[in-house]
Amino acid sequence: DARKQQLREEIKALLKQRNAVMVAHYYTDPEIQALAEETGGCVADSLEMARFGRDAKEQTLIVAGVKFMGETAKILSPEKSVLMPTLEATCSLDLGCPIDKFSEFCDAHPDHTVVVYANTSAAVKARADWVVTSSIALEIVEHLEEQGKPIIWGPDRHLGAYIAKKTGADMLMWQGECIVHDEFSAQKLKDMKAVYPDAAVLVHPESPASVVDMADAVGSTSQLIAAAKNMSNDTFIVATDKGIFYKMQQQAPDKTFIEAPTAGNGATCKSCAHCPWMAMNGLEAVRNALTENKSSHEIHVDEQLRQKALIPLNRMLDFSA
């Protein structure tokens, strides 16, 4: 509508004026992803967001995603201003893995290599030997498994269980989960598959094992988008945040994408396949990040912590390069 069009124009002008570029996650709302694309920014998974932000020539990054993504950008680019549409956008995995408790867990198992998912605070990353995202976790754990050292894995227990099963690695799990993926229901998925027998099932490994077991393809967001494009099926049932449909539809315009069912529905599900924190990144919030006082949008990471967190993050980026 007219008001949104005006907001979009305003944001475009402000991005230029402020020498800023937008980096958006696949789970943000379609209008945010479209705007990032139109303005020369990027739409990506958390690994690619980190790389794009680091390499961008602009002095200011607008990170449309959740807090750990802004922190990662700041860790990699301390000289840039990293602004978020809202500093309230967090993640249940980050919230469920406080540094004091996680540190105790690590201290209790000093012979273990500490591998943490990118969905964690800068402090948790600083405590880790490796940071991984879901697009590279399997390769990195395979590499560590070959060295034969036991692993502490945090915080997503479903992703951890999936990786342990695939690699045979000895992994001690932190018991965290993503509120979006944790709600997908294998029982309801079975019913849905009966209705769409020719559909391929695409599953993000933050989902419960019972759902992962029913998948035709398991992978990170970028891997699932590639599967949607490359698999010959016409119809796909997708168990990940529905924000991803924007990119799947763009990459495979003739195919049909259906949301995988959640255990609850309407008032009874926490997320209904859309992350409430990703959803905070509306057009207005993006505009506000460019107009309001920096202090209510800017990400800061303590310099000592930043230098520590940079080591396992760079280990991942170098491994994947």
**Smallest distance, Å, CB 294 to ligand CIZ?**
25
- 72 is a contact residue toward ligand CIZ (CB under 6 A): no
Look up residue 182 and give its amino acid: D
Closest by CA to 9, choosing from 43, 40, 35, is 35
Residue/partner pairs of 13-18 with CB below 8 Å, 24 or more apart: 14/287, 14/290, 14/291, 15/39, 15/62, 15/290, 18/60, 18/290
Q: Site residues for ligand CIZ, window 94-123 (CB under 6 A)? A: 118-119
Tokens of 59: 């002095």
- Binding marks (x or -) toward ligand CIZ, 195..234, rule CB under 6 A? -----------x-------------xx-------------
Residue/partner pairs of 2-9 with CB below 8 Å, 24 or more apart: 4/31, 4/283, 7/283, 7/284, 7/287, 8/35, 8/283
- 178 is a contact residue toward ligand CIZ (CB under 6 A): yes
| 25 annotated as a binding-site residue | yes
Binding residues for ligand CIZ, rule CB under 6 A, total 10
| 118 annotated as a binding-site residue | yes
Instruction: Please identify which residue in 81, 86, 113, 119 interacts with ligand SF4, judged by CB under 6 A.
Output: 119
Half-sphere exposure of 274 (CA within 13 A, CB side): 14
Cβ atoms of 174 and 136 closer than 8 Å? no
Provide the 8-state DSSP code for 296.
G
Where are the alpha helices (H) located in 127-218, listed in sequence order?
137-147, 157-167, 186-195, 209-212
Q: Which does 58 bind (CB under 5 to 8 A by kind): ligand CIZ, ligand SF4, none?
A: none
- What is the C-alpha end-to-end distance of the chain, expressed in Å? 42
**Smallest distance, Å, CB 277 to ligand SF4?**
5
Determine the Cα–Cα distance for residues 263 and 275; give it in Å rounded to an integer.
Answer: 15
Q: Site residues for ligand SF4, window 17-46 (CB under 6 A)? A: 27
Q: Which does 46 bind (CB under 5 to 8 A by kind): ligand SF4, ligand CIZ, none?
A: ligand CIZ
Q: Taking the mean position of all CA atoms in its chain, how far away is CA 156? A: 12
Phi, psi dihedrals of residue 201, rounded to the nearest 5°: -100, 120
- 221 is a contact residue toward ligand SF4 (CB under 6 A): no
**C-beta of 134 vs 233, nearer to ligand CIZ:** 134
Q: Which does 153 bind (CB under 5 to 8 A by kind): ligand CIZ, ligand SF4, none?
A: none
**C-beta of 113 vs 220, nearer to ligand CIZ:** 220
How many Cβ atoms are within 10 Å of 68's Cβ, its own excluded?
A: 23
- Binding marks (x or -) toward ligand SF4, 74..113, rule CB under 6 A? -----------------xxx--------------------
- Binding marks (x or -) toward ligand SF4, 41..80, rule CB under 6 A? -------------------------x--------------
Determine the Cα–Cα distance for residues 31 and 173; give it in Å rounded to an integer.
Answer: 37
Provide the 8-state DSSP code for 200.
E
| 117 annotated as a binding-site residue | yes
Q: Interface residues with ligand SF4 (CB under 6 A)?
A: 27, 66, 91-93, 119, 178-180, 241, 275, 277-278
Residues in binding site for iminosuccinate: 25, 46, 117-119, 134, 204-206, 221
Binding residues: 25, 46, 91, 117-119, 134, 178, 204-206, 221, 275
Give the residues lining the site for ligand CIZ (CB under 6 A): 45-46, 118-119, 133-134, 178, 206, 220-221
Binding site residues for [4Fe-4S] cluster, as ranges?
Answer: 91, 178, 275
